[in-house]
A and B are shown apart, each in its own frame.
Chain A
Amino acid sequence: MNERPLQEPTLLLLTALADEPRHGYGLIQEIDAISQGRVRMRTGTLYGALDRLVQQGLIRVEREEVVDGRARKVYALAEAGRDVLAAEAERLRAVVAEAERRLAARRAHAIRPKGALA
């Protein structure tokens, strides 16, 4: 379990790799899609994050390939990264559940007629 919540760029990167391995630009596109266009990760930022996550053992370089004359690495989620992402998803799920519970309680309180017994 993490000591702190993941920062958004890390969370988005791990999420983008959760279903299948991807290369650098594929990750940029996937993060753009997951965040619904809100987060546009730039090349240097992406590469800094990839360096760190590889060093921390959360992702790994699955293979290197050349496509259309361009060299690129394909990254995959490592087992440790999968655990970290699952723990973060669980944390977020708990927060969402609590938020929904409180909102529902508030709505129920608001529509209860005046003078009605609890």
Chain B
Amino acid sequence: MTQQHSSLAFRWALRLHPAAYRAEHEAELTAIYAEATQDAGPLGRLREALDVAGHGLRRRTGLGSDRMAGQVLAQAAPLAVAVATGSFVAGLLWLFAPGVRTLPASSPPNVLSLANTGLTPLLWLAALTAVWTGRWTLARALVVPAMVLCLADVLLAAFASSGFHGTPSIAVIRLAVPLLTGAVVLAAPRDLLGLSQRRTIMGTTALAAVLVSSVQLIETYYPFTLGVLSVTGPLWAGILWAGVLAIALLFGTRNRLTVAGVAVAVLPTTLQVTVQLTPAGVVVLLLVLLSITVPFLRARRRHFQSTPPSAA
């Protein structure tokens, strides 16, 4: 099979590569694709082409596994899934607390919102299980519907103006965790993803759940908040996360990749706070910057004094 006979999807996938890279590697990529799909059906060819497209986008954006940005994403991906899962599952469990009111299923936006509230945590939980067992292809497949569901919920609520109070920044707050976490998982180079340290994943998930539960407890006892699905919850969670991040990074530094990976993993949550730049948001932003910069510089100094990088 030559390039003329390759599938349309594959030809588009090739075009996503930078021109110079394509000129150098197109013939070989085409040959590998042709051999790998010789007995494959349309779905198999499409999956193969999507993988090549992912490679092209990573080359174009500097997120390949040979680049530091890609290596940071690979470090961040399991932790980001753990943070999202812990947060969403704890949020779901709080809906069963006494006295909590949920939306009536009286209109399409409300139905979608209820579906999002109920299904999203389950999708993230399934994704976390896949990460736990090293099945990253499945994990990626699961975060896509979780992202789509949340996006559809927020957009439909915004268009219908029903049950959605506030400004565009509230939409950003609600979308930050699912969309950014999903983006981290999808963008991380597949060849750097495998079995993660289970104790770390479990600890991070539990920590996220505890932090969200703490926030819900605080909200329950403060009359000026709006309840379980309020906007102030994420603000408190962001402050708590920033504090945890600061402690973890300032007192538990290892290497630059780990430092950057942890920072990226909690970035979606902290972004919820900083997006409004309230006084609390500014404090969080400063805490995050400090807690990333200090260990990063420390690790960088150690890196230059010691060994060559590992193979991962």
Binding site for B on A (CB under 8 A): 2-4, 6-10, 13-14, 24-25, 28, 41-49, 51-53, 55-56, 58, 69-73, 81, 84
Nearest neighbor of A8 in chain B, beta-carbon distance: B194
Complex contacts, A28 vs chain B, CB 8 Å? 32, 35-36
**What is the CB-to-nearest-CB distance from B212 to chain A, in angstroms, rounded to a whole number?**
30
Q: Are B190 and A71 in contact (CB under 8 A)?
A: no
Q: How far is the CB of B91 from chain A (nearest CB, A)?
A: 32
CB distance from B299 to the nearest CB of A (A): 12
B310 CB within 8 Å of chain A: yes
Complex contact B191–A2 (CB within 8 A): no
> Which of the candidate stretches B46-54, B158-166, B176-184, B237-245 sits at the interface with the other chain?
B46-54
Among B23-31, B80-88, B148-156, the one that faces the other chain is B23-31
26 contacts across the A-B interface (CB closer than 8 A): A7-B312, A10-B191, A14-B311, A25-B36, A28-B32, A28-B35, A42-B48, A42-B51, A42-B52, A42-B190, A43-B36, A43-B52, A44-B48, A44-B54, A47-B25, A48-B64, A48-B191, A49-B191, A51-B65, A52-B64, A56-B66, A70-B30, A70-B35, A71-B27, A72-B28, A72-B31
The answer to whether B167 has its CB under 8 Å from any CB of chain A is no
Q: A44-B55, A47-B29 are in contact. Are A7 and B48 (CB under 8 A)?
A: no
Of the listed residues A43, A49, A73, the one surrounded by the most CB atoms of chain B closer than 10 A to its CB is A43
Contact between B52 and A58 (Cβ–Cβ < 8 Å)? no
- CA of A17 to CA of B67, assembled, Å: 23
The DSSP consensus for interface residues of chain B is helix
CB pair A49–B32 under 8 Å, yes or no, is no
User: B residues touching A (Cβ–Cβ < 8 Å)?
Assistant: 2, 13, 25, 27-36, 47-48, 51-56, 58, 64-66, 134, 189-195, 255, 307, 309-312
**Residue contact A71 to B28, C-beta cutoff 8 Å:** yes
Q: Which among B36, B134, B195, B307 is the interface contact of A42 at CB below 8 angstroms?
A: B36
B33: which A residues are within 8 A, CB to CB?
43
Distance from B274 Cβ to chain A, minimum over Cβ atoms (Å): 31
B27 in contact with A47 (CB, 8 Å):
no
A52 to B192, CA, bound (A): 10
Given contacts A28-B36, A44-B53, 20 further A-B contacts (CB under 8 A): A2-B311, A3-B310, A8-B195, A9-B191, A24-B31, A25-B32, A42-B47, A42-B48, A42-B190, A44-B51, A44-B54, A46-B32, A47-B25, A48-B64, A48-B65, A51-B64, A58-B311, A70-B30, A70-B35, A71-B31
Most chain A Cβ neighbours within 10 Å, of B2, B29, B34, B311:
B311
Given contacts A3-B255, A44-B54, contact A49 B311 (CB under 8 A): no
Contact between A10 and B312 (Cβ–Cβ < 8 Å)? yes
CB of B65 within 8 A of CB of A52, answer yes
- A6 pairs with B55, CB closer than 8 A: no
Using Cβ atoms and an 8 Å threshold, which residues of chain A touch B55?
A: 43-45, 47-48
The answer to whether A43 and B189 touch (CB under 8 A), given A7-B312, A58-B311, is no
Chain B: which residue is nearest A56 at the CB level? B311
Contacts of A3 in B (CB 8 A): 255, 307, 310
